[in-house]
Chain A
Amino acid sequence: MKKYMKQVIILAIFILLPLVFNFNRSFMTLLNMAGIYVVIAIGFNILLGYAGQISLGHAAFVGIGAYTTAILSTKCNLSFILIIPIVILISGILGFILGLPALRLQGNYLAIATLGFGVAFSHIFMEWESVTGGFSGIKGINPPNLFGYQFKTRLSMYYFILFFIVVSIIFAKNLIKTKTGRALMAIRDSEYAAMSLGIDVAKYKTIAFLISAIYAGVAGSLYAFLFRQVYPNTFDVGMSLNILAMIVIGGIASIEGSVVGALFITLIPEFLKNIKVQNASFILTGLLLILCVMYFPYGLVDIYRRFKVWLKKKAAVKDEGVKV
């Protein structure tokens, strides 16, 4: 029990947070949005941070999750307990398909291919009017219903999303420790070394795409349930760039980093509201991206880690000083 004390305390803080502070509705919406991005970022970190494969089209999976949910909820009246497995299945299949070009492409080329995938899907959401409703989107999605309780308010959705975040963190943390997680990291560090150790590179790359697509799909489903309407221009290249920025700024190859990054990027516009410069958060994100790549390749979490090491060193020096 003591081992998980820290995690339990953090979880308790997040459970109590909205109860203690009684945030207004718009800030709750923002927090919920941040929560959804946390789920996406964790999945994306498995792909980029642990497996070393880039994707600039992840918004497509979020969109697919959101649209699948919207269609199943409005046209078939399904409950969310059925919708989420279907979303997992569909986004998993599409993640598998996107994983196929990744088997042959690396670095720059993979980035362009996934960018193409993302743009193609954002156009499909706009143009396939009979299914996606075109520019007017889909409205009137039913709120999730659990044993007669409707998750209608922002507060209830907060806990609904928090549940998914906890599940995603536990799954990701455990995945990293398994054979799959180690294989992914080996592929990231050197594909050829991994190959020569007998790791089935094709299989594990596909798995990485599949898992991160499922994370994004589920997050898309949460998005649809939160706003109860979906529009095509939400899921564009800008969203994919934001997802990338989250984990680069938060911390690559770190689950905590994904959480910090997602919260940071989503909440930052709120804090920069009073600055006269328009799009200030956008410029700051870009600047931070470049600075992180240059000076903090492991993101904000790494600053904290370095600070801890520095404190320890200082303490050690002090101890020795006493001895002498």
Chain B
Amino acid sequence: MSQVIVSGIITGSLYALAALGLVLIFKTSDVVNFAQGEMAMFCTFIAYTFMTFVGLPYYIAFPLTIICAGILGVIVYRLIIKPLSKSNVLSIMIATLGLIMILNGLAGNIFGFETKSFPKLINAKNINILGVSLEPNSLLIVLITFAIMLSLFFYFKTMEGIAIRAVAQDVDAAKLMGISVKRVTVTTWIISSMLAATAGMLIAPTTFLDINMMSEVHLKSFCAAVLGGFNTFVGPAVGGVLIGILENLVGKYISLAWKTVFAFILIIVMLVVRPNGLCGKSYRRKV
């Protein structure tokens, strides 16, 4: 039982990590970036290229990829999101769906369609804590997720972070306060792209690296964000861990085959009953 819960927390923190970038963009610009998973996959391939073809060690390839991810975020914002900033929600959503196809197709052609294996952060023997066997790598993933969440939490206390939150609440009021909305939005795209890259590189060892590596996790990250609340930063963490645990419990005690169906039915019910999620506040809709 406790083993199941612990492994649930580990997969859950992966979902949370993938969901954080999603929520960040949604909160600041009201855009659901459906291509978040593909961006993660693309960046992971960049890291892989750095390591195999350039021959860099992991600890150099990792930060280099994060920088590339930032550039990718700027490109996506400049070419797709900014020209569409005046159009409605549906148009931007459709554009990010188009981006899925482009990134997925390009990745296959540039990096190849075959499955590759991606190195783990650390390779060490499993450790035993209170009868629960733990892989140090997974433990590190959980720690990284929480570290990122904590640093985001403190980032939002800084001047820059407050500007982001102001834009999230009211674009016009933020403009009147002298905040450059454009700069804030670019920053959020850079951060969320970096988050995606981090998530991708941490997830790749468990799923193997190919062009569809993120499809499952990406969809689950939606579940996590919806369950926890799409307009909070704590939400995805709570939602991710909850989904991870529930899914593992269903898989263990009810049926392994039906655990994915269970997760999606859960979010549909959640959206109908409480669209703002467990941690979300409800906002009055503007007419």
Contacts and interface: CB of A to CB of B under 8 A. Distances in A.
A116 B267 contact: yes
A52 B84 CA distance: 18
B108 A109 contact: no
A290 B94 CA distance: 7
Contact of A287 (B91, B98, B257): B98
B267 A112 contact: yes
B272 A290 contact: no
A244 B101 CA distance: 12
Interface in A261-281: 277-280
A286 B26 CA distance: 22
B94 A120 contact: no
Nearest to A238: B101
Interface stretch (A84-92, A100-108, A144-152, A160-168): A100-108
Contacts of B101: 241, 245, 282-283, 285-286, 289
The residue among B84, B100, B261, B287 with the most chain A CB atoms within 10 A of its own CB is B261
Nearest to A281: B105
B162 interface: no
Contacts, number: 129
A104 B275 contact: yes
Contact of B89 (A56, A107, A283): A107
Interface in B61-115: 80, 83-84, 87, 89-95, 97-102, 104-106, 108-109, 113
Interface in A255-311: 277-280, 282-283, 285-290, 293-294, 297
Q: Is the interface of B mostly helix, strand, loop or mixed?
A: helix
Of the four ranges (under 10, 10 to 19, 20 to 34, 35 or more), the interface on chain B belongs to 35 or more
B260 interface: yes
A106 to B, nearest CB: 8
Contacts of A100: 272
B222 A107 contact: no
A290 B92 CA distance: 9
24 contacts: A52-B90, A56-B97, A108-B26, A108-B32, A108-B89, A108-B93, A108-B230, A109-B271, A111-B34, A112-B222, A116-B268, A117-B264, A119-B264, A120-B268, A123-B264, A244-B94, A277-B109, A278-B113, A279-B109, A285-B101, A286-B99, A286-B105, A287-B102, A293-B87
Given A101-B268, A109-B226, 6 more contacts: A104-B271, A116-B222, A285-B98, A290-B80, A290-B95, A294-B84
Interface of B: 26, 30-32, 34, 80, 83-84, 87, 89-95, 97-102, 104-106, 108-109, 113, 215, 219, 222-223, 226, 230, 257-258, 260-261, 264-265, 267-268, 271-272, 275, 287
